[in-house]
Structure 1
Amino acid sequence: MKQLHFDFRDIFRAPRLAFSIQRIWINGTGLLGGYVAYLIISYIALIIGGYSFSEIWKQSALLPCAFIMAVPWYSTILYLLGVIVLGAVILLTNTAVSRVIYMTLRDELFYTWTQAFKFAFKKWISSLGSIITFLFIIAFFVIGALVMGLIGRIPFIGELGTALLTVPYIFGALLLLFILIAFMIALFFVPAIIATSDEDALGGVFQSFSITFNQPWRIVVYSMFLSVLYIVGVFIFVLALKAAYSIFIFLFTIGMGDKILQIQEQALYIIDQSLPALYSWVQHLPGESGNWIYLTSQHPFPPQLNGVMTLAGYIMGIFLLFFGGVVVAYGEAIYNAGLTIIYIILYKLQEKESLLEREDEELKEEEEEEEKTETTEETVPPVETETKTKPKKPGRKPSAKSKKPRKKE
């Protein structure tokens, strides 16, 4: 079991805990699955909204958004469905990563990514149910306020009733504000709550309210620490990847000459066309940091290449997009690791109990299954192999008469 200080110093473990093939793989797999579902639903929404595939690709490519295009209401609803699917997949993925981080802190080093996904799918009702419960609570207050507003339209009674109930209404609005803040915190902390304390949906809601009410300043300060670590960790990781890519191009230029540069131009042009909005976003970063971690300029259409060179450029472009996904997955893993550590700290300071020392139901079930297996193996008697003897053929027994005494010569 890892020895924690149960203060801000433990948060500095987050980038190191996240830097693992297993955690990046879990986050990357979940993000890819959710993104593909979002991409398909978004394109369908825009196509039924009156746009052709080529028009959507030219404007948005791999980052479609219905809010920047004029679409009918049903396209917007379908697009929002894609956003909800993406959010649900990310929530389950974050639960799986938080579970792996929690097991790593308990020194359960042989906990696999398949076990993590199995746990996340087993707890999907708890993870999604916590968020849905918050939405129902918020909807109750909003609908109640709208109903009371309609009642306020009644002549004489409505005006006086609203004036007399001003104090309860304001306290109700304060309570709604607190619920909204707790909901925003729950969006980030529910995966860590479910993964570490094995709570159900109501438990996730209760713990979100508890840490929001009892330790709000710690949440703010620790989240600021984590945000700085996230920015620094991702920046260093991207910088290292770009340096490795530059070394690769430099060394291969010596051997391949201009061929590798032509393939690179084709690949970078594909990235520009696939992520048209990303270049402008990166350029808004302070100073020259955008050029350090991304493309220094947009790349025009490359010169005419033969079929093999064009294919090689497309393949390289796809792999560069893959490394971009790895960066996003690593950043998500940092946040999951940090939020898991923060919740363990908050729980320890509030309940005076370490979540790392509690009896985990999943591990308990595995131990019971192993004990049952060992007991079964001990109780089953060994199979004895009997040696089969061939039965003797019934021979003719000599009779007493046949036994004659030998004559003496």
Structure 2
Amino acid sequence: MTKFYFDVRDVFRAPRLALSAKKILLQFMGLLVGYLGYLVFTYLAFLSSGSSFSETWEYRGLFPFGDFLFTEWYSWLIFIFGCLIALICWLLASTMVAKVTYEQLKGDDFYSSKEAFRFLKKHFAPAFLSPLSMLAFIAFLIICGIIVGLLGKIPYLGELGIGIFYLIPLFAAALCLAYVIFIFFVSLLLAPAVVATLKEDTFETIVQIFSTVWNQAWRYFVYTGLVGLMSKLGIFIFGYFSFRAVQFIHLSCGVFMKDKLTDITEQALSYITIPERFLDYFSNIFAGLNFRFHLPEIGPGIYLNWSGEISAFLIAISLIFIIFMVLSYGLAIISTGQTVTYIILRKKKDDDDLLKRKTETEEEEERREISEIPPEAEEEKEKA
């Protein structure tokens, strides 16, 4: 079992623990599936809003981010559904990464992705229902506020009612709403770690999230801030080396291909319509510091023959995979860091050392041994 200090020193292990092909691949698959779901439903939203496929493809390409000027309400519903798919995929992938990290910290370095997926099939619901339950409660409180506003339009009685009940219950409910919204965003980070370590249901997961933030607030936010900084730094470093790797490909292959490779690459980049501010954020080490690697500008593309177009499209897909791989490392740092953070805070809060619990392998062996005990031996044991 890994030596654990149960303090801030353990948080700095997150980048090293996350630098694992297994964890990055799990996070990558969640990111990829979520992206595909988002892409499909966003295109459906644009189509249902009256935009043609060719128009949407021309202006938004493979990354339809920003300028969601939908003219129909159901288009917004389709778009929101796509966003929920992306969110759920991220939460599920984070849960698997958290589970692999937890088992590794308990001493099982060979806990596989297949076992993590098997665990997820049994405990997938709390991982995303915990945040979504809070979101539903937030929506309920907002709807209640709207109803109160409608009642306030009643002449005389409505105005008096607003004045009388402004402090209690309106202010109290609004204060509760603000706190629940805050915890909702925390749950997006912490819920996978709670599910992976405790294997609890949705209600208990929500209770643990509230309890952790309430009892260990300053530690949680300091540790999470450190994890966020390390995630940003990890993305920058991994992104830098990935960028240089792509440059090396073009330097070597461009010796003979020359302008042909340049044209294909330019056309490939035209498919990747990622907002410039997004690329600038990840190509710079930290906001406010001008320490960056300069990505090529994305242009409108150029005309190529059919083979060149196919090549450009395949290169665009490859570049998207590289971008997702870089982001997956950053997300893996967050998932790993949140798992480590929760293990520390659980010890501080309840004096419960989660690392002393049996690994999944040990639990499976124990269940197998119990099932192999003959009934006669069980009866003799009970009599004794």
TM-score range, shorter chain: 0.7 to 0.9
SS of 2:13 mapped into structure 1: helix
Show CA shifts across 1:213-253 (max 9, x none). Answer: 12222222122211110111111111112223333433445
* Uncovered stretches (5+) of structure 2, i.e. residues with no partner: 378-384
Unaligned residue ranges in structure 1 (runs of 5+): 380-409
Other structure's SS at 2:28 match: helix
Q: For the residues of structure 1 that align with 2:74 and 2:182, how far apart are their CA atoms? A: 30
* Aligned 1:186-205 pairs, distance under 5 A: 186-205=187-206
Task: Name the residue aligned to 1:47.
Answer: 47
Give the letter for the 1:266 counterpart.
I
Query: 1:56 and 2:56 equivalent?
Result: yes
The one-letter code of the counterpart of 2:366 is E
Whether 2:12 is the aligned partner of 1:15: answer no
1:184 and 2:185 are equivalent in the alignment = yes
Secondary structure class of the residue paired with 1:68:
coil
Matching of residue 218 in structure 1 with residue 219 in structure 2: yes
Aligned to 1:269: 267
Equivalent residue of 1:102, what SS? helix
Structure 1 residue 275: Cα displacement? 1.8
- Residues 1:322 and 1:148: Cα distance change in structure 2 (over 3 Å): closer
Task: Please point out which of 262, 268, 281 is paired with 2:278.
Answer: 281
Q: Which residue of 1 aligns with 2:364?
A: 366
1:85-124 superposed matches below 5 A: 85-124=85-124
Checking the alignment, whether the CA contact within 8 Å between 2:235 and 2:329 is kept in structure 1 is yes
Does structure 2 conserve the Cα–Cα contact (< 8 Å) formed by 1:6 and 1:348?
yes
Specify the alignment match of 1:34 in structure 2.
34
CA contact (8 A) 1:189 1:208 kept: yes
1:99-141 alpha-carbon deviations (Å, 9 max, x no partner) = 1111111111121111112212221222232123213432443
Q: Could you tell me the TM-score, scaled by structure 2's length? A: 0.86
Q: What's the secondary structure of 1:2's corresponding residue?
A: coil
Aligned mates of 2:279, 2:372 — CA distance in 1: 58
**What is the match of residue 381 of structure 2?**
none
Instruction: Summarize the alignment of residues 7-406 of structure 1 with structure 2, pairs less than 5 Å apart.
Output: 7-65=7-65, 67-169=67-169, 170-253=171-254, 257-259=255-257, 262-271=260-269, 273-283=270-280, 285=284, 289=291, 292=293, 295-299=295-299, 301=301, 311-359=310-358, 362-363=360-361, 365-371=363-369
Structure 2 contact 14–336 (Cα < 8 Å) conserved: yes
8 Å Cα contact 1:196-1:355 kept in structure 2: yes
Separation (CA, whole Å) in 2 of partners of 1:118 and 1:154: 56
**Contact 1:262–1:302 (Cα < 8 Å) also in 2:** no
Q: CA RMSD in A?
A: 2.7
Deviation at 1:268, TM superposition (A): 4.0
In structure 1, C-alpha distance between the alignment counterparts of 2:212 and 2:108, rounded to whole Å: 27
- Partner of 1:276: helix, strand, or coil? coil
Report the equivalent of 1:396. none
Aligned partners of 2:155, 2:97: CA distance in 1, in Å?
A: 57
Q: Percent identity?
A: 31
Tell me the number of residue pairs that the alignment of Structure 1 and Structure 2 aligns: 369
The amino acid of 2:97's aligned partner reads V
CA-to-partner distance for each residue in 1:268-324, whole Å, 9 max, x for gaps? 4312x222233453346556555x1x523335645756x656654444443222211
